[in-house]
Amino acid sequence: MEIKLIKAIDHNDFIALYKDAGWWKCEYNKDLSFIDQVVNGSFLFAAAFDDNGQMVGMGRVLSDGCSDAYIQDVVVLKKHRRTGIGKLIITFLINELKGCGVDWIGLIGEPGTEKFYSGLGFKTMPEYLPMKFSDS
């Protein structure tokens, strides 16, 4: 298994990961150039490749590059989950961020992922409230 930073992604690999995670939305099908923007607009974009070179996981970071960072879109294909790939991706991203001097690393995980993330050093922040803007 190899984890590495990438600057470009095969759209089919991205789509396969998003579909497998249930994140793919039908309106994405119109213009796939947003995939390149997701990669290029990320401070870090890491991908996990199996021994055959197939991309089986990814994770990315939004950050100013010096103080705060948010890890998001961490996903591993279902058939490769529970093998340590997600842990490798998160650990890789944390090490890269620490190397840049970033000292505040946060994320918002899906319900049921608390044990996974707490095992990697993340703690819930009861004094804070994650929120999302909505027009409706």
- What are the pLDDT digits (tens) for 74-107? 999 999 999 999 999 999 999 999 999 999 999 9
Q: What is the pLDDT of residue 27?
A: 64
> Which residue ranges make up each domain of the chain?
2-118
Architecture field, domain 2-118: 3-Layer(aba) Sandwich (3.40)
Q: How far apart are the first and last CA of the chain?
A: 43
Contact 70, 116 (CB under 8 A): no
Distance CA 2, CA 87 (A): 13
> Tokens 């842990």 label which residue?
87
- Work out the mean pLDDT of the chain and round it to a whole number: 92
Q: What is the pLDDT of residue 47?
A: 98
